[in-house]
Chains A and B, each alone.
Chain A
Amino acid sequence: MGSIELVKVRKDFGGFAVINGVDLKVEDGEFTVFVGPSGCGKSTLLRLIAGLEDISSGQVLIDGKDVSRVGPSQRGLSMVFQSYALYPHMSVRNNIAFALKMAKQPKDVIEQKVKKAAGILNLTDYLERKPRQLSGGQRQRVAIGRAIVREPKAFLFDEPLSNLDAALRVQMRLEIGDLHQSLKTTMIYVTHDQVEAMTMADKIVVLNKGEVAQIGSPLELYNRPQNLFVARFIGSPTMNIATGPSAAKRGATTIGIRPEHVDVSATAGEWPAKVRLAEHLGSDTYVHVEVDDIGPMTVRLGGEAPNQPGQRIFVTPQEPRIHRFDQQGLRVGG
């Protein structure tokens, strides 16, 4: 079991609200990702759940029990830190076994659990090494191993992959995904990388300036962003934004259209534009254009597109794919 609920959680640092009244429910077994730009409070929110920071007001409930005043060691959660935070003076074996020793489990049980965790994480050959003798990816695995042996109610991940190189990050992303599939334990994962969020999450919590901007499944956030902040934050390349007459005629202050939902024509269309640059990725081409009277936009075309800088073209948003927002930046209509 491991459901986590936050009720009006607030955290002030020196009179400034870093977390401003967050309500959230994470179901048992769910993979939830907190995402947002740096400084949005996502790591702080995770640390409040962990108990590493005290909440200023509100409640944190784990399995329905109020743990707001319970210390981190008593909450039954495991955490994987961005810096790995391995114990440098202990071998891999002792790093993994530390929590079990603290829980005063019998020696044979510890040995067996450490072996099992090491097996899952391919660390069996490294058990006698010290953390400094391991590569980044191996250290990350030890940190995860340390978390899983405790059989916690939930795992908390604080940007665990940001110190790894790109290839390793993709691999570890899959491994964490597999781990979630096999353990079926609640996981809360903090990242600033929206691609990580989209690929891993059952549920994404987008945070902005200490408040929840939107909660939903990855596709809900992609298809129906509730406000301009989420619209801009989710999706890569980012959503194109237009204001003025083309928004007004659709009954909105601002409209947004994703790069993949824009059609291009050499002869006719809604917005005349000039090509600034075409980025050829092989599978896709990102055409950056300057739309007359609106400004820069990005168009994503499948395969190879022959557009040249300086060329005049017409771009047209696909009508049903347009997102409309009012003056406050909130979604209008369906």
Chain B
Amino acid sequence: MALQQTVGKRVGMTALAWIVGFLIFFPILWTFLTSFKSELDAFSLPPKFLFFHWTTENYAEVQSRSDYFSFAWNSIILSVGANLVGLIVGVPAAWSMAFAPTKRTKDLLLWMLSTKMMPGVGVFAAVYFIFQYLGLLDNRIGIGFLLFMANLPILIWMLYTYFKEIPVDILEAARMDGASLVNEIIYVLTPMAIPGIASTLLLCIILSWNEAFWTLNLTTSHAAPLTAFIASYSSPEGLFWAKLSAASTLAIAPILVLGWFCQKQLVRGLTFGAVK
């Protein structure tokens, strides 16, 4: 009886997990399918799920109308670059908070997090005018700097949590062995924290990749990443669902593939602190 119950329970749980998984995945699947429909099929009612005329003309059109690779290249440069710079700032910052805390470290951490609670639109006008004044509109450095700053609190928080799990004895041993602060971070802390640093970097890259508010408002073409590429297909002349879907599929494909390969790291990154 007990065995049957467990088997029943497992079947139920598995089915539930698949259903929830499918619900979450459905919009992506729908976008993917729509990208292969003709514009007419794309908004037909009732919707056509699988039985429509498959076509790749949307992809061809999207590529001919706008240069996908230029947008993709900007996305890669911005999301990877901004967060690599973030690591250079974040690793020492998290080191000092984890291993040399002062009375105000906890306050500082909370304050950093609180900046993420403010909606970006709240400071939009100010940021826009500053960018305009400094000539940073539609500039990779400008938007990159903004993405770097936007992720920094999350990056430092995650690294801080990882570093807290590293026994301080080992760093002290390095100090006793004559390692300077820089050598201690490079040769001892960083190699031990590689899994944590990798998943932090990955999560932050994904966040930057998907960031739409600032990238849409502060870039137009030269520095525009894939978010702008998608947005350009919801134009005032009308919605082109199929082309929009093709653009979306192209925009999310790289990050989806990256996420697929780094699943294990990501899960660890997203559940950090939960499994000590």
Contacts and interface: CB of A to CB of B under 8 A. Distances in A.
Q: Do A and B come from one complex?
A: yes
A124 B236 CA distance: 75
Interface stretch (A77-85, A169-177, A229-237, A307-315): A77-85
Interface of A is mostly: loop
Interface stretch (B82-90, B168-176, B263-271): B168-176
Contacts of A85: 167, 169-170, 172-173
A56 to B, nearest CB: 16
A83 B167 contact: yes
Interface in B160-181: 167, 169-170, 172-180
Interface in A40-82: 50-52, 71-74, 77-79, 81-82
Interface size class of B (residues with CB under 8 A): 10 to 19
B211 to A, nearest CB: 34
Given A87-B170, A87-B188, A52 B177 contact: no
B217 interface: no
Contacts of B170: 85-88
A98 B167 contact: no
Contacts of B179: 73, 98, 102
A99 interface: yes
A129 B233 CA distance: 58
Nearest to A73: B178
Contacts of B187: 98
B178 A99 contact: yes
Nearest to B177: A99
B176 A98 contact: no
A88 B192 contact: yes
B122 to A, nearest CB: 39
Interface string A83-113: 1011111000000001100110000000000
Interface in B139-190: 167, 169-170, 172-180, 183, 187-188
A81 B174 contact: no
A246 to B, nearest CB: 49
A150 interface: yes
Of the candidates B175, B177, B188, the one having the most CB atoms from chain A within 10 angstroms of its own CB is B177
Interface size class of A (residues with CB under 8 A): 20 to 34
Nearest to A78: B176
Given A52-B172, A85-B172, A87-B170, A103 B178 contact: yes
Contacts of B178: 73-74, 99, 102-103, 150
A146 interface: yes
A73 B180 contact: yes
Contacts of A98: 174, 177, 179, 187
Contacts of B8: none
A77 B177 CA distance: 8
A98 B188 CA distance: 10
A78 B176 CA distance: 6
Nearest to A47: B172
A72 B167 contact: no
Given A83-B169, A85-B170, A86-B170, A73 B192 contact: no
Given A81-B169, A85-B167, A86-B170, A73 B175 contact: yes
Nearest to B187: A98
A248 to B, nearest CB: 51
A53 to B, nearest CB: 10
A150 B175 CA distance: 13
Contact of A72 (B169, B172, B188, B191): B172
A83 B171 CA distance: 12
A175 B169 CA distance: 23
B175 A71 contact: yes
Contacts of A86: 170, 173
B172 A102 contact: no
Given A89-B191, A89-B192, A102-B183, A81 B172 contact: yes
Contacts of B177: 73, 78, 98-99, 102, 146, 150
Interface of B: 167, 169-170, 172-180, 183, 187-188, 191-192
The 8 closest A-B pairs by CB, nearest first: A85-B169, A99-B177, A85-B173, A102-B178, A79-B176, A72-B175, A89-B191, A73-B178
29 contacts: A50-B176, A51-B175, A52-B175, A52-B176, A72-B172, A73-B178, A73-B179, A73-B180, A79-B173, A81-B169, A81-B173, A83-B167, A83-B169, A85-B167, A85-B172, A85-B173, A86-B170, A86-B173, A87-B170, A87-B173, A87-B174, A87-B188, A88-B192, A98-B179, A98-B187, A99-B177, A102-B178, A102-B180, A103-B178
Given A73-B180, A74-B178, 14 more contacts: A51-B175, A72-B172, A72-B176, A78-B177, A83-B167, A85-B167, A98-B174, A98-B177, A98-B179, A99-B178, A102-B177, A102-B178, A102-B183, A146-B177
